[in-house]
Chain A
Amino acid sequence: MRITRMVAVAAVAALSLGIAACGGDDGGDSGDTGSGSKSFEAGSTMEKLNKAQKITIGTKFDQPGFGLKGLDGKPAGFDVEIGKLIADELGIADDKITWVETPSAVREEKIEKAEVDLVVATYTINDKRKERIDFAGPYYEAGQNILVKADDTSITGPDSFKAGDKKVCSVQGSTPATNIEKYLANKASQLVVFDVYQKCVDALTNGQVNAVTTDNVILLGFIARNEGKFKLAGENFTKEPYGIGLKKGDNAFRTFVNDTLETLFKDGRWEKAWKDTAGKYVDETPTPPTINRY
C-alpha cells in the first residue's frame, strides 16, 4: 500500500515537473499570461474566451501519441499539445482548459451543441463533416501505413503484398481493410480481419501475419506501447488530413485558429509538440501541411 502511494506520488511529481517544463519552453507569451495581455476584436469568440479565461476542448482519451488520458487524469499527446498552444494564443493558461472526451461518433454533435469550443481529436477533414461543422487546419496529415516487426526488411510498402506470400491483418469492415485489398494477390490467403487492432498485433507477434495495416497514428501508438518490437514499413499510402473542428459559420474564429496554426508551424512550436508526443516513435519530423482556408 505504502509503496503504491509512493509510486503514485513520484509519478505525479514527475509528470507535473514535465508539464511545467513544457509550459516553460512553449514560448514567452504563455504561462503567466493574464487576460490583459491579449486583445481581440470585440464580440468575437476569441474575446469571449479570453474574457472568460476558460476554454473547453474536445479530444480523444484513448489514442496513444495523440490524446491519451493517463492514470493522472490528464490527457496527453499531440492533439492535446495543439489544443494547449491554441489556448495559449487566446491568453488562456493550461490549467484553465477543460478537456472533454470526444470519441469519433459524437464529435459533430458536441460541436453543434456547443458543449466544446473546439475539437482536436484525430479528426479527418472531409466534405460530409463540413456540412455540419467547420474545420480549421489541417495541422497534421495522417495516412494509412504498415506495421511490421522491427527486424523485417522484406516489406517496404503496400506493393510488397502483390507477390502473394505476405499476410496482412486489419480490422473488420474498416476503410484500411478495403484499401489494402487492391494490393493483394489472393485475399483468402493474405488477409485476416479481427474486431480490434490488438488482436492483429498479437497475430503479428506470433507470426501468423507479416504486417498490420491502418492509419499511421494508431500504428504509432502500438509502436509506443511495445518499444523496440515494431516499426513502420515505408511511407503513408493514403492521406487523412486532421483538422480542428469548430462551430459552423464562425469564420472569424476559424481564421484565428488557422493563423495560429501557421504561426505554430513557423516558430517551431508545432515541431516541438510533435517531437514531444507522437513524433517520439518516428525518425523524421513531418513537414507541416498547408492550411486549407476554404
Chain B
Amino acid sequence: MSVLVDHFDVFASGFWLTFQLCLLSAVGALILGTLGAVMRISPVPPLRWVGTAYVTVFRNCPLTIVFFFAAFGLPSLGSNADFLKIPGLSSIFSRLGIDLPYFRFAIIALSVYTGAFVCEAIRSGINAVSPGQAEAARAIGLTFTQNLRFVVLPQAWKAAIVPLGSVIIAMIKNSALAGFFGLVGDLSNGAQNLTSALGEPIIPVFIGVSIGFLIMTVPLGLLLDRIERRRAVAR
C-alpha cells in the first residue's frame, strides 16, 4: 500500500483533474438535457423530432463509441472544440484553454452522452407535474416559455432531482473512460501509468483510484438522500 503514500501527488492531481472534468461535464449535461427535455415537450413538431432523435441516438450508443467520435471524429471534421475555450472559465480550469483538445473532447463526450439521460430524467419530472398546473397556467394567459419557467419546470426539478443525482453519479464513474481517450493525468490515466510504466502493484493503485471516485460520489449520494427526506417532509 506504500504506493498510495509514495505517489500521493499522482492521485491528488488525478483526483483534481477528474473532479474538474466531472464538474464541467455535469454543467454541460444539465444544460443539454434541459434543452432536450424542453424540445421534447414543445408544441413545435420539428423541435420535438430533434429532441427525440438526440435522446434516441445518444442514450442507445455505448459511451466508448461516443468518446471515440468525440476524440477522433471531431478532429477529422476539423474541430478542436475551440468553442469551449471560454475566457473566464479557462483561467480557473487551465486544461480548458490549452492547445491539446482532449480535455474538451472528454467534456463534450460526457456532456452529450449524459445529457440524453438528464433529458429523460427531467421529462419524467415534467410528467409528474399534474396536467392541471400547465392548463391553469395557460388559462391565465402565460406563454409556453412563461408556463415552463414559472410553473412547470420549478415543480419538475423537484421531482427530477433524485433521478438526476443518480445520472450524475453514473457520469462521474463514466468519466474514468476519459483517460483512455487522450486525457493525460486524470485518475484512470495516472493509475495506468503507475502500474504499467512504473511497475507498481495493481491492487493498491486501484484501491487509490476507487477512493478518489468515492470521495466524489458518496457525498453526492448522501446529499441526494437528504434532499429526498426534506421533500418527503414538505409533502
Tell whether A167 pairs with B197 under 8 Å between CB atoms, given A191-B184, A203-B75: no
Interface residue? B95 (CB, 8 A): yes
Task: Report how far A290 CA is from B94 CA in the complex, Å.
Answer: 50
Taken residue by residue from 163 to 187, chain B's Cβ proximity to chain A (1 for < 8 Å, 0 otherwise) reads as 0000000000000000011101100
- Do the beta carbons of B100 and A172 come within 8 Å of each other? no
Q: Which residue of A lies closest to B77 (CB)?
A: A206
Checking A173, A187, A194, A208 against B196 with a beta-carbon cut-off of 8 angstroms, the contacting residue is: A173
What string of 1s and 0s marks CB contacts (under 8 Å) between A175-214 and chain B? Answer: 1011000000001111111110001001100111100000
Contact A187 B182 (CB under 8 A): no
Q: What is the predominant secondary structure among interface residues of chain A facing chain B?
A: mixed
User: Contacts A172-B193, A173-B192, A173-B193 given: A193-B184 contact, CB under 8 Å?
Assistant: yes
Q: Does A285 contact B (CB under 8 A)?
A: no
B184 pairs with A188, CB closer than 8 A? yes
**A172 contacts B196, C-beta separation under 8 Å:** yes
**Minimum distance in angstroms from A189 CB to a CB of chain B:** 4
Q: What residue of chain B has the Cβ atom nearest to residue A200's Cβ?
A: B182
Chain A residues with CB below 8 A from B9, complex form: none
- Please tell me if the beta carbons of A188 and B192 are within 8 angstroms of each other in the complex: no
A174 within 8 A of B: yes
**B192 engages A167 (CB within 8 Å):** no
Q: Which residues of A contact B196 (CB under 8 A)?
A: 172-174
Chain A residue at minimal CB-CB distance from B199:
A173
Check B189 against A208 for contact (C-beta < 8 Å).
no
Most buried by B among A165, A174, A207, A208: A208
**Are A190 and B100 closer than 8 Å at their CB atoms?**
yes
Residues of B within 8 A of A (CB): 72, 75-76, 80, 94-95, 98-102, 180-182, 184-185, 189, 192-193, 195-197
21 contacts between A and B (CB under 8 A): A167-B100, A172-B189, A173-B195, A173-B197, A174-B197, A177-B197, A178-B197, A187-B184, A188-B94, A189-B100, A190-B100, A191-B184, A192-B102, A194-B180, A202-B72, A202-B76, A206-B72, A207-B75, A208-B75, A208-B80, A208-B102
Instruction: Spell out A's residues near B (CB within 8 Å).
Output: 165, 167, 172-175, 177-178, 187-195, 199, 202-203, 206-209
